[in-house]
Amino acid sequence: MDLLNTLVDKGLRRELPTRDEALAVLATSDDDLLDVVAAAGKVRRHWFGRRVKLNYLVNLKSGLCPEDCSYCSQRLGSTAGILKYTWLKPDQASDAAAAGVAGGAKRVCLVASGRGPTDRDVDRVSETIKAIKDNNEGVEVCACLGLLSDGQAERLREAGADAYNHNLNTSEATYGEITTTHTYEDRVDTVQKAHAAGLSACSGLIAGMGETDEDLVDVVYSLRELDPDSVPVNFLIPFEGTPLGKEWNLTPQRCLRILAMTRFVCPDVEVRIAGGREVHLRTMQPLALHLANSIFLGDYLTSEGQAGKADLEMIADAGFEVEGTDQVTLPEHRAAGGCHDGGGACGSGGGGACGSDAAPEVSEPRTAPDARTDLIAVRRRGAGTDLAPNA
């Protein structure tokens, strides 16, 4: 396909595809799916070889969030039967992190529910970062604590944090339909604060919330413009007891197209398959490794994931290797900080500014697949429990 040849050439040059090209990837047929995966796989291997970076989540504080994000089992008004607990102590969090590191994780992601941290919360997390780094040589730590106030990103950086995660989640045009207690601009501001403080910015999306192809392209283009080092792609886990509990809009094939589109638009960043891969990709997870160079190991914040041992076997069987702590994840031009100039997309070449192309026609709604509620299990082990974690 001429489209795929063009996208590969642009990906190898870090050139921004046009919106029409990105939309065309999402519109490809199932007959062309393997060609799409193969093309995006060339871009992935060019920048990241066959390495897979493993990340491990530690939920420092679960549930009881005052925000109303419709996708979240920890939201205000959620009746999902998730674990609820207040802040883990630094040694508890360090023990949980150690299980992930022992399983091969290179980065530990510290997450806490809530609108954003107080200064006392930043102190708690700073103590936790120190405990984790003292006990696990070479581990990266990413914090995900919500909206940041002035000076908090700098304090986290001084405490030893390597990165900060705050997802855009969906397009600016539809953000107000998903969340009303904060704005899309609030999220952009927090990512920019992380950048400015010298933290590696991590920001991604959630697919499967009823969005259109245009929404998906919009949010990925916005991410390209923000220029994070890593882009986690979440697939909605439709928890019963949340407003989106009946949104089953994804097939394995659509998930692969979304990952491929993200890779073409963000060719040289760490694209991470995040929550929901087991629920929506299912047996096609190994194909997704040809598109993304990073995954979460084991369980998620409030739901169970694939067994850590199965993750490692999947990576090996697919012909990939786990990235070691002695290996640099990002390409040299990114690892050296050369892309974070605050001026938009890195290496945009002649691709034009985000949204510069003529608006395409709105995509047709797709037939929803059958719900697979049997694949959703609430996490009952690991952080916040007396049971061993899944790592």
Domain boundaries, the chain: 35-324
The pTM of the full predicted model, rounded to 2 decimals, is 0.91
Given a cut of 70, whether residue 262 has pLDDT beyond it is yes
What is d(CA 144, CA 140) in angstroms, rounded to the nearest whole number? 13
Structural contact between residues 94 and 58, judged by C-beta atoms closer than 8 angstroms: no
Structural contact between residues 171 and 179, judged by C-beta atoms closer than 8 angstroms: no
What is d(CA 165, CA 187) in angstroms, rounded to the nearest whole number? 10
**24-56 per-position pLDDT tens digit:** 999 999 999 999 999 999 999 999 999 999 999
Q: What is the mean pLDDT of the chain?
A: 91
65 is catalytic: yes
Q: Provide CB contacts within 8 A for 313, sequence distance 6+.
A: none
pLDDT band at 225 (very low <50, low <70, confident <90, very high): very high
- Residue 314 has a pLDDT of 97
**Record: fold of 35-324:** TIM Barrel (3.20.20)
What share of the chain has pLDDT > 70, as a percent?
Answer: 92
Given a cut of 50, whether residue 166 has pLDDT beyond it is yes
Given a cut of 70, whether residue 340 has pLDDT beyond it is no
pLDDT band at 378 (very low <50, low <70, confident <90, very high): confident
pLDDT band at 368 (very low <50, low <70, confident <90, very high): low
Rounded mean pLDDT, 88-105: 96
pLDDT band at 76 (very low <50, low <70, confident <90, very high): confident
- Of 173, 79, 69, 86, whose CA–CA distance to 124 is shortest? 86
Q: Which of 19, 44, 65, 346 is catalytic?
A: 65
- Residue 112 has a pLDDT of 95
Q: Which of 14, 19, 51, 69 is catalytic?
A: 69
Strands (DSSP E) found in 3-150: 51-61, 107-112, 140-144
**285-294 per-position pLDDT tens digit:** 999 999 999 9
- Residue 339 has a pLDDT of 56
- Residue 64 has a pLDDT of 86
Rounded mean pLDDT, 297-324: 95
Structural contact between residues 230 and 244, judged by C-beta atoms closer than 8 angstroms: no
266 is catalytic: no
Given a cut of 60, whether residue 343 has pLDDT beyond it is no
354 is catalytic: no
- Residue 348 has a pLDDT of 38
Q: Which of 14, 19, 142, 157 is catalytic?
A: 142
Q: Which of 144, 202, 266, 339 is catalytic?
A: 202
Q: Provide CB contacts within 8 A for 157, sequence distance 6+.
A: 197, 198, 199
Query: 194-212 as b/e, with b when 16 or more CB fall inside 10 Å?
Result: bbebebbbbbbbbbbbbbb
- Of 1, 23, 43, 40, whose CA–CA distance to 260 is shortest? 40
Helix (H) or strand (E) holding 235: strand 230-235
Given a cut of 50, whether residue 253 has pLDDT beyond it is yes
Q: Which of 272, 277, 334, 379 is catalytic?
A: 272
Q: Which of 14, 44, 51, 109 is catalytic?
A: 109
- Residue 346 has a pLDDT of 44
Q: Which of 44, 72, 255, 263 is catalytic?
A: 72
Given a cut of 90, whether residue 278 has pLDDT beyond it is yes
- Of 209, 183, 334, 185, whose CA–CA distance to 266 is shortest? 334
Given a cut of 70, whether residue 19 has pLDDT beyond it is yes
pLDDT band at 366 (very low <50, low <70, confident <90, very high): low
What is d(CA 310, CA 80) in angstroms, rounded to the nearest whole number? 27
- Residue 77 has a pLDDT of 87
What share of the chain has pLDDT > 90, as a percent?
Answer: 82
Given a cut of 80, whether residue 239 has pLDDT beyond it is yes
Given a cut of 80, whether residue 357 has pLDDT beyond it is no
- Residue 350 has a pLDDT of 37
| Paired tokens of 215 | 């929404």
